[in-house]
């Protein structure tokens, strides 16, 4: 869909994208070890919820989408960048339930580390890759093109893709992707039936015990804080049991230098942050995991935001594997690589607002998945050596 910009400063043609527009190789800009996405025009579509009914269109956006100031939404409605049922409406328009609401934006995606998505193994219906830390697996939140699925489509013309498991954005390692929905269903059925074994390695604090350790404690995830906690029963009588979800992980030490250890992690269940919080519970959190390190190691937090807190605020990974990468506070010097939109609240910067600071990819890496008649593996990362 093409529209003419009404702004008198630039009478140019705008091509609006939707999820149907695939990522292209030329969509990416690489600077100083960072992969940016060239900003693009995008139509966000939603349908009015019951609680939205009765609000004016400006009040709705100002109340529900606080990432932009109210003045922006007033201007966007007047310019036709916010529409209802495909029609330009006045700022006083009152929304009705189930109406289609379109928001046409100049979209700036969060940057990620400019590391290759290495293809490990290819079959007619299966693809395995080594996912770099900082890159989400599939479109979510502000990420669309800066994802594993998007990069593989843009750089290797691979589509459609069906990831059969997920890795957190800050976690690296093996990712298995089906090339068809039917093959993805087979994998998922095996995972749900408990036939699939998962193995990760982590670099943790201290000398991890030589004997195998099993953390079999419930986990409760707090979505607002973006953090999990273990919950044990209160009292020896078994009353007031935990409200968390059952979770179990086996751990085996691979090596140690007394200060830190490399540990094999085998999650039996799959809860949010399970390995991370279970390692904390055992007293050996991941050595660069600011979210779950004990308070006795808080001096590391002086170096910058924790990976997760920064992800919640901005999503920008800036340091990994002892290599520090700085993103300029202002990326206006990169503006020649894309068209500036005078209505955009992020321009002239290339990255969205708030994407500065420092962050690490977690020292947590998926190395192996195995099922009834298959095994896929990924090489160890550089940080797995304690030399």
- Residue 275 near residue 366 (C-beta atoms within 8 A): no
- Residue 264 near residue 203 (C-beta atoms within 8 A): no
- Residue 145 near residue 131 (C-beta atoms within 8 A): no
Alpha helix locations (H) across the chain? 57-64, 70-78, 148-156, 181-192, 274-281, 307-313
Measured between alpha carbons, how far is 35 from 27 in angstroms, rounded to an integer?
10
27, 168, 289, 308: the active-site residue: 168
Q: Which residue, among 213, 240, 245, 253, has the nearest Cα to 228 in the 3D structure?
A: 245
* Residue showing tokens 């939109």: 341
Distances (CA, A) of 268 to 115, 122, 200: 30, 27, 12
- Phi first, then psi: what are they for 312, rounded to 5°? -65, -35
Measured between alpha carbons, how far is 204 from 182 in angstroms, rounded to an integer?
39
C-alpha Rg value of the chain to the nearest Å: 23
Q: Before 87, cis peptide (omega within 30)?
A: no
**What is the CB-side half-sphere exposure of residue 98 using CA atoms within 13 A?**
0
Measured between alpha carbons, how far is 150 from 24 in angstroms, rounded to an integer?
9
- Active-site residue 373, yes or no? no
Q: Which residue, among 173, 385, 95, has the nearest Cα to 261 in the 3D structure?
A: 385
Measured between alpha carbons, how far is 268 from 177 in angstroms, rounded to an integer?
21
Angle at 335 between CA 319 and CA 18, to 5 degrees: 85
Measured between alpha carbons, how far is 66 from 214 in angstroms, rounded to an integer?
43
Residues with Cβ within 8 Å of residue 217, at least 6 apart in sequence: 230, 231, 232, 242, 247, 278, 281
Joined together, the tokens standing for residue 254 give 């691979």
Report the catalytic residues. Answer: 168
């Amino acid at each position: 869909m093409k529209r003419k910009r009404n702004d008198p400063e630039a009478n140019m043609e705008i091509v609006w994208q939707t999820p149907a527009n695939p990522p292209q190789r030329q969509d990416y800009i690489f600077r100083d070890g960072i992969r940016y996405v060239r900003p693009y025009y995008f139509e966000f579509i939603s349908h009015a919820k019951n609680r939205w009914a009765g609000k004016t269109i400006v009040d709705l956006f100002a109340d529900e989408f606080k990432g932009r100031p109210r003045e922006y939404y007033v201007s966007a409605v007047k310019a036709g960048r916010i529409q209802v049922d495909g029609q330009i409406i006045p700022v006083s328009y009152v929304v009705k339930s189930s109406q289609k609401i379109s928001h046409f934006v100049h979209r700036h995606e969060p940057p990620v580390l400019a590391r290759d998505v290495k293809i490990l193994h290819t079959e007619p219906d299966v693809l395995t890759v080594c996912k770099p830390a900082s890159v989400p697996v599939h479109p979510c939140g502000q990420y669309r093109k800066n994802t594993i699925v998007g990069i593989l489509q843009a750089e290797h013309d691979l589509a459609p893709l069906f990831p059969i498991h997920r890795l957190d954005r800050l976690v690296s390692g093996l990712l298995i992707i089906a090339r068809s929905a039917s093959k993805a269903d087979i994998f998922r059925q095996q995972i749900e039936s408990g036939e699939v074994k998962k193995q990760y390695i982590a670099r943790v604090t201290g000398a991890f015990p030589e004997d195998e350790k099993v953390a079999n404690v419930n986990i409760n995830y707090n979505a607002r804080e973006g953090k999990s906690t273990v919950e044990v029963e209160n009292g020896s009588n078994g009353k007031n049991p935990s409200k968390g979800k059952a979770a179990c992980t086996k751990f085996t030490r691979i090596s140690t230098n007394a200060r830190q250890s490399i540990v094999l992690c085998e999650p039996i269940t799959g809860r949010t942050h399970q390995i991370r919080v279970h390692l904390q519970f055992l007293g050996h959190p991941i050595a660069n995991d600011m979210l779950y390190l004990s308070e006795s190691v808080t001096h590391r937090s002086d170096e910058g935001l924790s990976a997760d807190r920064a992800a919640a605020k901005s999503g920008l990974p800036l340091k990994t594997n002892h290599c520090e990468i700085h993103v300029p506070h202002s990326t206006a010097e990169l503006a020649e690589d894309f068209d500036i939109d005078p209505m955009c609240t992020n321009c002239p910067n290339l990255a969205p607002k708030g994407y500065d600071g420092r962050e690490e990819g977690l020292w947590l890496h998926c190395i192996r998945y195995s099922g009834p008649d298959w095994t896929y593996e990924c090489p160890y990362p550089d940080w797995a050596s304690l030399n």
